[in-house]
Chain A
Amino acid sequence: MSRITGLFVAIVIFLAGLTQAPAQAVTVLTRDGGPIAGPAIRHGTTFSKATGTDVRVIQRPFIGLYGEIMIGFVTGKTEADVLIFPAAWLPDFAPYLSPVPEALAESPLVQGVHPTYRDSLMRWQGQWKAITLDGDLHMGAYRRDLFDDPQTRQAFEQRYGRALVPPRSWSDYEEIRAFFDGRRAPGGTHLSGTLEASAEGGQRLWYLFSHAAAYTAHPDYPGHFFFDPDTMEPEIDNPAWQRALREFLTAVSSDQGPSGDLDSHGVRAGFAAGHSAMAIDWSDIGGVATDPDTSAIEGSVGFFVLPGSQDVWNPKQGLWETLPVPRQVPFLAFGGWIAGVPRASAAPEQAWDFIAWMAAPERADRDVTNGASGFNPYRLSQFEEHSRWSDIMGEDAAMDYLQVLRDSLSAPQTAPDLRIPGYPAYMAALDAQVGAVMSGDALPEDALSAAALEWEQITDRLGRTSQRRHYREAMGLGVPAP
């Protein structure tokens, strides 16, 4: 933690101690499990010790977290003083949240956040509404020991006529997946080609979005990811999405190991256990796979930017076009976990104090390098301090990991996640249809069309004009034409 930030936190705590005696308890509501909730508990303990304010962490299953928070808002019975929730829910929560104190918003704690995460995750309609604790994006990981194995490389070359290198396109990815799927690792371990989340409520949609990002990112028509930015009509049922869905289904058809359908935690754990040659996951996978305590393959991990595609869908012409070379489109999946304070909080100041404590750089830096924290790098300094990462991951992996993060965040074509009111409703509609496809109850095309229809209804209910404005802002486009 820098000296200025530390001084700021100390002053805040001092003032809090002066003005709020006796100290009230701060209740934190977030998802259950080791990630996210774990750091909240740990930092709550230290916060209590430091300030005397108790911190109680309420954990709820991720699938019910949004509903519970919203019911609390609607009924006026929110007991949490601090909410730690996905950034994509902020548009829905914004009316019920208190703004970030101005001093905190202008503090180095906020200003040191990478602009990609700071501007898009922490504000809504120009107001600072939350403090981010996480910087999310999807990336690829692979087992370097397998990719460097001469026999494996020779076998791959014989089958595909090219060298075995980390995939640059989803086509490469599928070949490598198919090559490794069912093979045995040198140690005799049964291998999956790749691991992606497919479990209901296991954040599987973002894996689908990662596949779709490259196919929908036409260079001449930016923003045609989820909707047509001019009409706000859904585009999730076009051929690009159909192809993405089919490839996603192929990827998750790999042998997922003994646990069956995986959630995102299962993906990174399975990869760290050496069950697969590759995996797609949030950047958490870097820490998990390189942690000697949790990984069976530490020291043999490499990373790659999310694969791209040479084929890209032209949404205006309604046809596929071929780019000169495959174009990788990183995807800021999920955005990250942020922390906010409900208007109804009885102890908003303590709540903001705790958030500032938790987000303090010295803690945040430890959290993002801990694969089990659920938090990933989001501060500018975290992408630059190479030694920190090399101490944990080893020199090669750290360099590889940071390079992938930097490349993904700096690429102009990097796709942001959807960030409009009703986001959970949109996701729920789509996830239900994907689930129907995976259960064999619907064909991909029909399922996507049905989801698109539901999306239309949601848009109209929330006001198409406003939704269009929000979507264009989320996609980095200008103000819509009146």
Chain B
Amino acid sequence: MKLRGIEGRLLLIVVLSTLAMLVAGLAALRALDEIGAAAETVTGREVPAVTAAMRLARIGERLQQRGASLMAATTPEALSDAQAAIVTDIDAFTREAAALEATQSEPGAVSIISRELADHLNDLREALATQAALAAAVEFQQIQMLNEENRVRQLIGPSILAVEAITSNLSTSDLATYKTAVRSQGPLLSAERLTNRATAEFLLAARSNTPESLDEIRNSFSRTTTQLAGLEPVLPVGLQAEFHDAAAAFSGQLGDGGGFALRARELAERTAAEAALAASAENAARLKRAVDAQVLSAGRTMANVTETLRQTILSTTTQFWMAGLAVILIAGAVSYALVIRPLSRNLAGVTTAMTRLAGGEKDTQVPGAERRDEIGDLARAFTVFKDNTFQMEQLDRQLTERSNLLLATFDTMKDGFSVFDQDRKLVAWNPQFLALYGFDEAAVSGSPSIEEINRMLEERRVRAFLPNGGETDLDTLSHRRLVLSQRHELRFPDEKVLALRSNPIPQGGFATIHMDVSEQRQTENQLLQAQKMETVGQLTGGIAHDFNNILAVIIGNLNIIARESDDKPAVRDRADRALGAADRAAGLVSRLLAFSRRQRLAPEDVDLNALVAGMSDLLETSLGADISLETNLADALPRVRVDPGPLENALMNLAINARDAMDGEGEIRISTQSAEDGFVELSVSDTGSGIPQDLLDQVFEPFFTTKPVDKGSGLGLSMVYGFVQQSGGTVAIDSTPETGTRVGLRLPVARAAGTTAEPVETTPENPENEELIDACILVVDDDTDLLELTADQLRGHGYAIVTATDGATALELLKEIPEIDLLYTDLAMPGGISGFDLAETARERRPDLPVLFTSGAPGEAGERLKTLLRKPVQEDVLAAAVRAQLEAQRRRTSAPNI
């Protein structure tokens, strides 16, 4: 705690105020103590005295009434009650008198009178006590009398009854007995009567209230007992002794200790008591007057004391209040000066600073920060608060921006986004999510569960697939998505594919990105198909290339055999047949090469409609009468750049396929139309049985056919495919089972003339020029059989031939033999030096050296060569090409010489 701080100041003020109030309180207590002492003086002396005096007076009055009760008491019980009440009052009076004496230093009038009254009352008490004892003795004598009476009754009763029984029933007694009974009953009855009378008289005496009446009853009782005693001799002898005792007891009541004497003394004592009571009453009256006077005096004294006390209390209270008020005012002033005012000012400054801060003034300065008290702490804390507020505001703004960005991202992102909570209820989604699934807002606004979403998807026949391609069910996926990162696809019946990436979220549930990959999947499928076709094409081309080499050897040798077997017709015939078979094989290879886009094409600008129209007759003939052929040719179509021969073959193939698909009856429609930029489409549609969807991807593969085993080669559509592809177009096939199939060929529109490479003119020209006969030709081929054949064929035409099986050897020979006039080389050769490399190196040494190339699968680079002979090379073609090159060389080398 800092004593210089506000708390310290306030504490100091409170301590000082408390001390001041303590001093004032002590002063007040002292004053009150004085007041209490004064009051105690009054209450301790005057009040008890007055109280005791008043009680004495009240008891005195009551004793006067007691006297009347005592006089009026006629029964022993009433008398006893009155006596008891008087004795009780006397005891109370004595106590109160003693109490009064104790309060006074010297006896006053009340005390003196009380003392006299107490003496009288003691006399009264003694008289009453004596009277009570005498009354008890009289009561005892009454009981004795009654017992004696009972004794006499028991004594004489049975005899009386026995005698009465006789006297009352003369019929059952003899007369003598009766008379005896009558005579004898007199004393018994007299004894009974006198006993009753004596008892009654005694009881009356016990209740007599005056000596006179008592004397009168005593005299009567005396007469009765005398008579009773006189009966003794005449009573039955057996009863006399006990009767005598009883009669004596009766008479004994007349003696000094008898009931009559006791009753007389009791009455005398009662008279004395009444006299004492009367004297007491006089004293009581005086006492009352004295007490009244004392009460009056005490009342005045107490009034004076009370007034004094009131004044004292008033002054003391006033002083205390004033002192307290002064302390409070001083404490308030000091507090205001030292605490409240600075506190208020600084708080106002802080408030102002906060207001300005709230208004955006960031450079607001808080006053009082230099103070070393709580205000200073507050100002410094506020400064820190202010800085924190600015930082918070900045962070809040950034957060808002990020949040808005995030929301905008979610709303505008191309992919769908959804969040399911730990109860697997959909709790968040973006518009794209709804769009991807085709849900409306109402369907998901009720936070449906993932199971409900799955049901909705199942109703739409959506199927789920794992990344490995295996199909799974949606509910199993939902369970996994809660605990694991999960990727899967949903495939819709309309070929829409959604890729889902789910990740569990820490709070439970999972978030999912829904990406529409329909186009990607379609593209991938197309790419896959293209790659497959490319692979098949490369494979097919490779085989065809090798097969061409083989065919070239076969055909070449057969030609030699045919040429040299003119004299042997049988051999010649077999050679011709073999040549025919070889030619068919070559044709087959040619179609394979067409598929693998390795056939030699001679593209030209073709009027497609004219080409179709030109083939109509041929097609109708080929299709048969039951097949109707319709053509639907668009007007003003641009020409297409294509080799018309293969195109016609392609059109024929398509028509034949259509016919075969229609089982001999139906309609074939051939249409032309403009397609997207730069293309014209030629399509062939039929109304046949169609092709199953799962087979559509395979129909362009070589040797794939849906026809019976002996009806198709499986190369028709392959050749079409290869031809169109090689021509720069595309092929599309649509087929609906039981409805029909449509094959569309998109062919490139022709561009400006002259841009297309002209094919090598392979038409053999005329026969050997004699000058060229001795020319030396270097033949290079890694296929030694074909190399040998080719060498033999050229030698047959008179040329000098040197051969090499690889590029290095060929270069060696070129270097060694400068007479070599022409280089004839295969393009593809092992050993690191291809036909191109060989030709290039040879021309570097001999720039004028003519070069002919040959290849079974020349590729794109080879296609551009003008001097390329496609294997298998017919001998005449080879001879013509050699001759042409040699002649051209001779013209170049001889011209300067002309």
In the complex, whether A67 has a CB less than 8 A from a CB of chain B is yes
Contact partner of A75 (CB less than 8 A), chosen from B150, B160, B236, B242, is B236
- Can you identify 11 A-B contacts, CB atoms within 8 angstroms? A71-B163, A75-B180, A75-B183, A92-B159, A95-B239, A421-B157, A422-B157, A422-B161, A458-B161, A461-B161, A466-B154
Question: B236 near A463 (CB under 8 angstroms)?
Answer: no
The smallest C-beta distance from B154 to any residue of chain A, in angstroms, reads 5
In the complex, which range does the number of interface residues on chain A fall in?
Answer: 20 to 34
With a 10 A CB-CB cut-off, give which of A97, A343, A425, A463 has the most chain B CB atoms.
A463
Q: Which residues of B contact A92 (CB under 8 A)?
A: 158-159, 162
Question: B155 near A71 (CB under 8 angstroms)?
Answer: no
User: Nearest B residue to A460 by beta-carbon distance?
Assistant: B153
In the complex, whether A99 has a CB less than 8 A from a CB of chain B is no
The smallest C-beta distance from A407 to any residue of chain B, in angstroms, reads 35
In the complex, whether B828 has a CB less than 8 A from a CB of chain A is no
Main secondary structure of the interface of B (DSSP, over half): helix
What's the Cα separation between A106 and B77 when bound, in Å? 51
Contact partner of B236 (CB less than 8 A), chosen from A68, A91, A96, A424, is A96
Q: Which residues of B contact A66 (CB under 8 A)?
A: 162
Mark interface residues in A28-61 (1 if CB within 8 Å of B CB, else 0). 0000000000000000000000000000000000
Question: B166 near A462 (CB under 8 angstroms)?
Answer: no
Q: Which residues of B contact A75 (CB under 8 A)?
A: 180, 183-184, 236
Mark interface residues in A332-344 (1 if CB within 8 Å of B CB, else 0). 0000000000111
The smallest C-beta distance from B522 to any residue of chain A, in angstroms, reads 114
Question: A463 near B154 (CB under 8 angstroms)?
Answer: yes
Q: For residues 145 through 171 of chain B, which have their beta carbon under 8 Å from a beta carbon of chain A? A: 149-151, 153-155, 157-163, 165-166
Mark interface residues in A438-468 (1 if CB within 8 Å of B CB, else 0). 0000000000000000000010011101100
In the complex, whether A428 has a CB less than 8 A from a CB of chain B is yes
What's the Cα separation between A463 and B159 when bound, in Å? 14
The smallest C-beta distance from A326 to any residue of chain B, in angstroms, reads 38
Question: B161 near A76 (CB under 8 angstroms)?
Answer: no
Q: Which residues of A contact B172 (CB under 8 A)?
A: 63-64
Question: A342 near B238 (CB under 8 angstroms)?
Answer: yes
What's the Cα separation between A96 and B180 when bound, in Å? 18
Q: Which residues of A contact B188 (CB under 8 A)?
A: 74
With a 10 A CB-CB cut-off, give which of B158, B177, B185 has the most chain A CB atoms.
B158
Q: Which residues of B contact A424 (CB under 8 A)?
A: 161-162, 165
What's the Cα separation between A465 and B151 when bound, in Å? 10
Q: For residues 72 through 112 of chain A, which have their beta carbon under 8 Å from a beta carbon of chain B? A: 73-77, 91-92, 95-97
In the complex, whether B422 has a CB less than 8 A from a CB of chain A is no
Question: A463 near B153 (CB under 8 angstroms)?
Answer: yes
In the complex, whether A70 has a CB less than 8 A from a CB of chain B is yes
The smallest C-beta distance from B89 to any residue of chain A, in angstroms, reads 33
Question: B173 near A64 (CB under 8 angstroms)?
Answer: yes
Contacts A96-B236, A343-B238 given; does A74 touch B155 at CB 8 Å: no
Contact partner of A462 (CB less than 8 A), chosen from B154, B163, B242, is B154
Q: Which residues of A contact B151 (CB under 8 A)?
A: 463, 466
What's the Cα separation between A234 and B181 when bound, in Å? 29
Contacts A67-B162, A424-B162 given; does A462 touch B153 at CB 8 Å: yes
The smallest C-beta distance from B443 to any residue of chain A, in angstroms, reads 91
Contact partner of A74 (CB less than 8 A), chosen from B153, B154, B184, B242, is B184
How many residues of chain B get a CB closer than 8 Å to chain A's CBs? Answer: 29
Question: A462 near B181 (CB under 8 angstroms)?
Answer: no
Q: Which residues of B contact A462 (CB under 8 A)?
A: 153-154, 157-158, 161
What's the Cα separation between A70 and B151 when bound, in Å? 19
Contact partner of B237 (CB less than 8 A), chosen from A63, A67, A68, A344, is A344
User: Nearest A residue to B166 by beta-carbon distance?
Assistant: A67
Question: A76 near B162 (CB under 8 angstroms)?
Answer: no
Question: B238 near A466 (CB under 8 angstroms)?
Answer: no
What's the Cα separation between A241 and B387 when bound, in Å? 120
Contact partner of B153 (CB less than 8 A), chosen from A63, A70, A461, is A461
- Top 9 nearest A-B pairs (CB, nearest first) are A70-B162, A96-B238, A92-B158, A463-B150, A463-B153, A462-B157, A425-B161, A74-B184, A74-B236
Interface residues of B (CB under 8 A from A): 149-151, 153-155, 157-163, 165-166, 172-173, 177, 180-181, 183-185, 188, 236-239, 242
What's the Cα separation between A421 and B242 when bound, in Å? 16
Q: Which residues of A contact B242 (CB under 8 A)?
A: 95
Question: A71 near B180 (CB under 8 angstroms)?
Answer: yes
Q: Which residues of B contact A95 (CB under 8 A)?
A: 155, 238-239, 242
Contact partner of A466 (CB less than 8 A), chosen from B153, B161, B181, B236, is B153
What's the Cα separation between A466 and B166 when bound, in Å? 25
Question: A70 near B163 (CB under 8 angstroms)?
Answer: yes
Q: Which residues of A contact B165 (CB under 8 A)?
A: 67, 424-425, 428
Q: For residues 214 through 235 of chain A, which have their beta carbon under 8 Å from a beta carbon of chain B? A: none
The smallest C-beta distance from B140 to any residue of chain A, in angstroms, reads 13
Question: B177 near A67 (CB under 8 angstroms)?
Answer: yes
Contact partner of B159 (CB less than 8 A), chosen from A73, A458, A465, is A73
Contacts A71-B181, A71-B184 given; does A461 touch B157 at CB 8 Å: yes
Q: Which residues of A contact B181 (CB under 8 A)?
A: 67, 71, 74
User: Nearest A residue to B187 by beta-carbon distance?
Assistant: A74
The smallest C-beta distance from A435 to any residue of chain B, in angstroms, reads 12
Q: Which residues of B contact A73 (CB under 8 A)?
A: 159, 236, 238
Contact partner of B158 (CB less than 8 A), chosen from A63, A71, A421, A428, is A421
Question: B158 near A463 (CB under 8 angstroms)?
Answer: no
What's the Cα separation between A241 and B154 when bound, in Å? 28
What's the Cα separation between A77 and B151 when bound, in Å? 24
The smallest C-beta distance from A278 to any residue of chain B, in angstroms, reads 32
Q: Which residues of B contact A91 (CB under 8 A)?
A: 158
Q: Which residues of B contact A70 (CB under 8 A)?
A: 158-159, 162-163
Q: Which residues of B contact A463 (CB under 8 A)?
A: 149-151, 153-154, 157
With a 10 A CB-CB cut-off, give which of B154, B173, B181, B237 has the most chain A CB atoms.
B154
Q: Which residues of A contact B153 (CB under 8 A)?
A: 461-463, 466
The smallest C-beta distance from B254 to any residue of chain A, in angstroms, reads 24
The smallest C-beta distance from A34 to any residue of chain B, in angstroms, reads 23
User: Nearest A residue to B150 by beta-carbon distance?
Assistant: A463
